[in-house]
Amino acid sequence: MNFGYHDQDGLMTTDEKSEPDKYSLQLYLHLISSVETENKDIVEIGCGRGGGLSHIARNFPIASALGIDLNKRAVRFCNLHYKIDGLTFVRGDAQKLGLENNSCDIVINVESSHCYQNMTLFLKEVFRILRPGGYFRLTDFRYDHEM
């Protein structure tokens, strides 16, 4: 998971089952709160064990959600644990995604980009896979990459 986010005003809600991961999930909710998600195809790059993306898939009226992570064990875990219509997970590298051009509406990236050797390659991939007018929402704790 991630370091989490706390909303003093309590605008974010999570279901009871998600209580132990509340703050980590609130970071995801905060990240996408300003984006229209209805009928959108969403991709998370660096999805880890999938808790954040599966929460979005359960609680938002998206069209599809695809989680991508370099770690094959994490991807296997996700595919075993989350059986939700429209939600899938595949192994992939943020710097060389095996996705089509213009294939999604929203890309999210949560506390993963600090791991990437080449931030420029990653950003080019995000730009390539997003449809025109799409959204890229990123949060991380370090921004001292060479660009």
Ligand X SMILES: C[S@@+](CC[C@H](N)C(=O)[O-])C[C@H]1O[C@@H](n2cnc3c(N)ncnc32)[C@H](O)[C@@H]1O
Q: Which residues bind ligand X (CB under 6 A)?
A: 1-2, 45-48, 51-52, 68-71, 74, 93-95, 110-112, 115-116
Minimum separation from the CB atom of position 3 to ligand X (A): 9
Q: Which is nearer to ligand X, 1 or 132 (CB)?
A: 1
Please check whether residue 92 is in contact with residue 68, taking contact to mean a CB–CB distance below 8 angstroms: yes
Q: Nearest distance from residue 98's CB to ligand X, in Å?
A: 12
CB atoms < 10 A from the CB of 114, how many?
13
Cβ atoms of 47 and 78 within 8 Å: the answer is yes
- The tokens for 119 are 């931030």
Q: Which is nearer to ligand X, 100 or 132 (CB)?
A: 100
Nearest distance from C-beta of residue 32 to ligand X, angstroms: 13
Closer residue to ligand X in complex, CB, 94/106: 94
In the complex with ligand X, the residue whose CB is nearer, 2 or 37, is: 2
- Of residues 59, 76, 127, the one with CA closest to residue 99: 127
Angle between helices 22-32 and 51-59 (to 10 degrees): 60
